[in-house]
Amino acid sequence: MNIQTLYDHDFNLWTQEHILLLKQARFSEIDTTHLIEELEDMAKSNKRELVNRLIILIAHLLKWQYQPAMRCNSWNSSINEQRIQLDYLLSDMPSLKNYLTEAIEKSYGRAVKLAVNETKLPLATFPVTCSYEQKQLLDEDFYPDNTQK
């Protein structure tokens, strides 16, 4: 089975074969079309993870801010967990920091939808754009209104 056919039939084996080809500097044998596709997908996946973690973080911060009577340990835990995971992601892939502003913008609308769905508060309750700064979102001590659980 050739390397390009292997891609469709056994992706794991295809990956292992490419690791071996790269280690042995056998570049002419590399399935460049699929390798480029996979590398592009990896980059997109990392950006999606960043956006998804921000959606959850921002939604919980909004709930924390706009429904203070309902604050609970699970919201606090979720906020902490997302911050830990974001810190790990950004430490592991520092170049994602260049995408952070765009990721916040992409995630905010979805975070508001999530907060509306979970709180049952009207959409108009929440700001049209994200009122939290990047630094605040990543700061483990920041909670809206400086009130912590």
Chain segment 84-138, per-residue pLDDT in tens = 999 999 999 999 999 999 999 999 999 999 999 999 999 999 999 999 999 999 9
Whether 76 is in a domain gets the answer yes
pTM score > 0.85 for this model?
Answer: no
The total domain count for the chain is: 1
Query: Do residues 144 and 61 touch, judged by C-beta distance below 8 A?
Result: yes
Question: Is residue 74 one of the residues assigned to a domain?
Answer: yes
Q: Is 106 a member of any domain?
A: yes
Residue 124 lies in a domain: yes
Q: Is 18 a member of any domain? A: no
Report if residue 29 sits inside a domain.
Answer: no
| pLDDT range class, residue 5, cuts 50, 70, 90 | confident
* Residue 103, domain extent: 45-146
C-alpha dist (Å) from residue 77 to 22, 57, 60, 64, 86: 43, 10, 10, 12, 14
CA dist 131 and 38 (Å) reads 36
- Judge whether 16 lies within some domain: no
Does residue 115 sit within a domain?
A: yes
Neighbour-count burial of 83, counting CB atoms closer than 10 A to its CB (0-12 exposed, 13-18 middle, 19+ buried): middle
